[in-house]
């Protein structure tokens, strides 16, 4: 009988070890806390490298488009507002001594509406600086002219427009190719 008790005790102990060593049952779901970081990007403006507005006579008007100007905002800001502005240098020709000039104030800028496919992206309000040709305003080498704005909205956005320059050629201008710089900036 003593042997049977020892065997029974041994069997019970073995069963207990087996019970304790049995794998745990898997949970039907589990979670993983996960993180990632969105980095702040930049606010950029791109304009054509060159533009030829055409030609005209002294006392006349020369009008032409610069090409597409694009603002891309990837700052990821809670307030994604920005203002694009434009200035111009004095335009000069090497035909005289000293060189002949056309002042920026004699050149009107007209942003026109957003253009392209798509013309804008993102939320918020996009507003052209000069909606129609009648709204064209003179450039300056000192005081920036508002070309386009974006107000409100969050995260990334972009806008494209194709501005027109209207050169009011002074009557006393001499013949020649006039060169200058139109500078777009955004902040």
Domain membership flag for residue 93: yes
pLDDT in tens, 88-103: 999 999 866 778 999 9
Domain membership flag for residue 115: yes
Domain membership flag for residue 124: yes
What is residue 12's three-state secondary structure?
helix
The total of structural domains in the chain comes to 1
- Taking the C-alpha atoms of 127, 113, 183 and 175 in order, what is their torsion angle to the nearest 10 degrees? -150
pTM equals 0.80
Alpha helix segments (H runs only) across the chain: 2-21
Domain membership flag for residue 168: yes
pLDDT in tens, 28-38: 999 999 998 88
d(CA 114, CA 103): 27
Domain membership flag for residue 11: no
Per-residue model confidence (pLDDT) at position 12: 53
Structural domain boundaries enclosing 82: 43-186
Task: List 63's β-bridge partners, or say none.
Answer: 166
Task: List 145's β-bridge partners, or say none.
Answer: 86
Domain membership flag for residue 131: yes
pLDDT in tens, 116-174: 999 999 999 999 999 999 999 999 999 999 999 999 999 999 999 999 999 999 999 99
CATH of the domain at 135: 2.60.40
Domain membership flag for residue 119: yes
Domain membership flag for residue 71: yes
- Using the predicted structure, report yes or no on whether residue 7 has a pLDDT greater than 50: no
Residue 177's nearest CA partner among 96, 118, 113, 122 is: 96
Residue 121 · residue 85 · CB < 8 Å: no
Residue 71's nearest CA partner among 139, 149, 146 is: 149
Residue 165's nearest CA partner among 68, 93, 66 is: 66
């Amino acid at each position: 009988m003593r042997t049977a008790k020892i065997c029974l005790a041994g069997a019970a102990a073995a069963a207990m070890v087996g019970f304790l060593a049995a794998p745990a049952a898997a949970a039907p779901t589990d979670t993983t806390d996960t993180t990632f970081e969105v980095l702040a990007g930049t606010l950029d403006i791109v304009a054509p490298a060159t533009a030829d507005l055409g030609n005209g006579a002294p006392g006349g008007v020369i009008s032409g488009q610069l090409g597409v100007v694009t603002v891309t905002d990837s700052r990821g800001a809670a307030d994604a507002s920005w203002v694009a502005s434009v200035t111009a240098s004095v335009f000069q020709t090497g035909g005289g001594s000293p060189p002949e000039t056309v002042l920026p104030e004699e050149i009107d800028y007209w942003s026109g509406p957003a253009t392209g496919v798509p013309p804008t992206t993102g939320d918020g309000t996009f507003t052209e600086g000069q909606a129609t040709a009648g709204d064209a305003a003179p450039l300056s080498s000192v005081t920036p002219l508002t070309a386009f704005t974006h107000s409100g909205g969050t995260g990334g956005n972009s806008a494209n427009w194709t501005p027109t320059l209207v050169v009011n050629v002074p009557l006393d201008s001499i013949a020649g190719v006039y060169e200058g710089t139109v500078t777009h900036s955004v902040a």
